[in-house]
């Protein structure tokens, strides 16, 4: 023990201690973008700190719970589902309809496990699971009210005008693209769900218009299914072959077979055609990017969904409904889109080309084909 009474009183000793320069910038209040960056780097599904707040609550918090919907839009959603959900809310211990909807929206936006969603909402995991299931099933039963692909004359004219204003591609009506939604390995035949990137997924086909509204979605097929195969199994080709169709084109990538009603990229020689095609078709890539960032449960960066393929398929359709609802009510889901680097795009194009060679029966004939003739005439008339 040191006797404090016998310590030297010469305070000049303190002056001999090496002093570091004051870092005044550390005493400043952090800027908003610095706080947001630090919060965004937090990892999901980790143990909470001493404050007991999950990382998901900080990362998504207010925006996740509200899903960027205004109060009147959320109220409308509750009223639409009231008839289906009120049967489950008559019990004394049941949650309100508003609470059930908020829990489901939070799950769709965060993409976390049900336990994390329960922690954010301060309820048990069983209650969170039941709320998500009830709201999802109720929304899925009303999918035709929010997702429809009707080939009306007025709609076709609107689509062609909208797409022409993007990059000058004539008579483009809709854009088509497939994307992978990660999920856990299914119990039966898990190998068919492994995609070319090496993880289990569903290969989901999207069709959107010039306003990024989802017109059609098909989430029934495994991650190994080629894009061309999925297209042939859906009702999309029949809509464009229908006599009521106004001779407009569906814009796809190399994974889609060329047809008299579907235009895909040509060789690098037709620069003007390819520029107009890619500049117009990027609308579907933006749509999917906004879609996955708004509904983080479908983005693999948040971890694959721990559900069966059938359940994940329903989640995809329900999120498309919510996406369209936001657009219909004039409240687009604005997020920052990460543009993939050029080498990543090139790799995807090479993989698509390899898929064509692996499935020659699903590949369009490149010579003496009516579809090729239509495309050649289009290039000669508008891009030369």
Task: Give the pLDDT confidence of 137-159 residue by residue, as tens digits.
Answer: 999 999 999 999 888 888 888 99
Residue 362 pLDDT more than 60? no
Q: Give yes or no: residues 162 and 64 share one domain.
A: no
Q: Based on the domain organization, do 332 and 261 belong to the same domain? A: yes
Q: Among 91-105, 107-121, 185-199, 335-349, which stretch is predicted with the lowest mean pLDDT?
A: 335-349
pLDDT at 318 over 90: yes
For residue 8, tell me if it sits in a domain: no
List the domain range (segments joined by +) for residue 121: 60-141
In a domain, 47, yes or no: no
Residues 126 and 160 in one domain: no
Domain stop point among 116, 141, 166: 141
Which of 166-175, 291-300, 330-339: highest mean pLDDT?
166-175
Residue 175 — pLDDT band, cuts 50, 70, 90? very high
Give a yes or no: residue 156 inside a domain.
yes
Which has the minimum average pLDDT: 20-24, 32-36, 57-61, 159-163? 57-61
215 shares its domain with 104: no
Pick the last residue of a domain from 141, 157, 190.
Answer: 141
User: Is 15 among the domain residues?
Assistant: no
Q: Within a domain: residue 49?
A: no
pLDDT surpasses 70 at 365:
no
- Does 208 fall in a domain? yes
Q: Which of 48-52, 60-64, 221-225, 241-245 has the highest mean pLDDT?
A: 221-225
pLDDT in tens, 245-260: 666 889 998 888 888 8
Give the pLDDT mean for 89-93.
56
Phi (first) and psi of residue 119, to 5 degrees: -65, -40
Q: How confident is the model at residue 244 (pLDDT cuts 50, 70, 90)?
A: low
For residue 366, pLDDT over 50 is answered with no
Is the domain of 315 the same as that of 378? yes
Paired tokens of 144: 């035709």
Name the domain boundary from 96, 121, 141: 141
**Domain total in the chain:** 2
pLDDT for the residue 290: 87
Do 206 and 94 fall within a single domain?
no
Q: Does residue 46 lie within any of the structural domains?
A: no
- Residue 353 contacts residue 254 (beta carbons within 8 Å): yes
Looking at the structure, do residues 263 and 199 belong to the same domain, yes or no?
yes
Co-location of 196 and 117 in the same domain: no
Residue 5 in this model has a pLDDT that exceeds 70: no
In the predicted structure, residue 235 carries a pLDDT above the cut 80 = yes
Say if 1 falls within a structural domain.
no
Confidence of residue 314 (pLDDT cuts 50, 70, 90): very high
249 and 134 housed in the same domain: no
Burial class of 98 by CB neighbour count within 10 A (0 to 12, 13 to 18, 19+)? middle
Higher pLDDT, 333 or 293: 293
Pairing of strands 201-208, 262-263: unpaired
- pLDDT, residue 323, reads 92
Looking at the fold, whether 119 and 152 belong to one and the same domain comes out as: no
Residue 214 pLDDT > 90, yes or no? yes
322 confidence band (pLDDT: 50, 70, 90): very high
pTM, full prediction: 0.75
* 117 lies in the same domain as 202: no
Are 136 and 262 part of one and the same domain? no
List, for residues 326-346, the tens digit of each pLDDT value: 888 887 665 555 444 444 444
């Amino acid at each position: 023990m040191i006797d404090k009474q016998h310590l030297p009183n010469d305070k000049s000793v303190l002056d001999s201690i090496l002093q570091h320069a004051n870092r005044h910038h550390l005493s400043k209040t952090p800027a908003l973008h610095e706080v947001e960056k630090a919060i965004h780097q937090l990892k999901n599904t980790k143990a909470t700190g001493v404050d007991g707040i999950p990382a998901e609550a900080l990362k998504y918090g207010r925006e996740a719970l509200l899903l960027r919907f205004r109060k009147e839009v959320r109220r409308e959603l509750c009223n639409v589902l009231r008839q289906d959900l009120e049967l489950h809310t008559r019990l004394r211990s049941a949650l309100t309809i508003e609470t059930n909807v908020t829990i489901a929206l939070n799950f769709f936006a965060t993409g976390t496990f049900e336990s994390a969603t329960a922690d954010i909402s301060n309820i048990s995991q069983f209650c969170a699971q039941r709320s998500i299931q009830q709201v999802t099933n109720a929304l899925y039963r009303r999918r035709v009210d929010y997702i429809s692909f009707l080939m009306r004359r007025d709609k076709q004219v609107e689509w062609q005008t909208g797409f022409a204003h993007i990059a000058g591609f004539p008579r483009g009506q809709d854009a088509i693209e497939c994307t992978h939604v990660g999920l856990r390995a299914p119990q039966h035949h898990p190998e068919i769900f492994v995609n070319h990137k090496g993880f289990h997924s569903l290969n989901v086909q999207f069709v959107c218009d010039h306003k990024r509204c989802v017109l059609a979605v098909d989430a029934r097929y495994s991650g190994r299914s080629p894009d061309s195969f999925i297209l042939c199994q859906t009702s999309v080709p029949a809509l464009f072959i229908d006599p009521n169709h106004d001779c407009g084109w569906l814009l796809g990538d190399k994974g889609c077979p060329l047809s008299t009603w579907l235009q895909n990229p040509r060789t690098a020689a037709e620069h003007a055609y390819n520029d107009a095609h890619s500049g117009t078709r990027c609308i579907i890539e933006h749509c999917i990017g906004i879609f996955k960032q708004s509904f983080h449960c479908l983005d693999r960066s948040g971890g694959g969904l721990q559900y069966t393929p059938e359940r994940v398929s329903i989640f995809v359709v329900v999120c498309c409904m919510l996406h369209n609802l936001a657009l219909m009510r004039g409240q687009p889901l604005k997020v920052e889109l990460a543009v993939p680097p050029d080498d990543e795009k090139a790799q995807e194009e090479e993989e698509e080309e390899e898929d064509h060679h692996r499935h020659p029966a699903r590949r369009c004939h490149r010579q003496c084909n009516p579809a090729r003739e239509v495309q050649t005439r289009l290039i000669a008339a508008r891009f030369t």
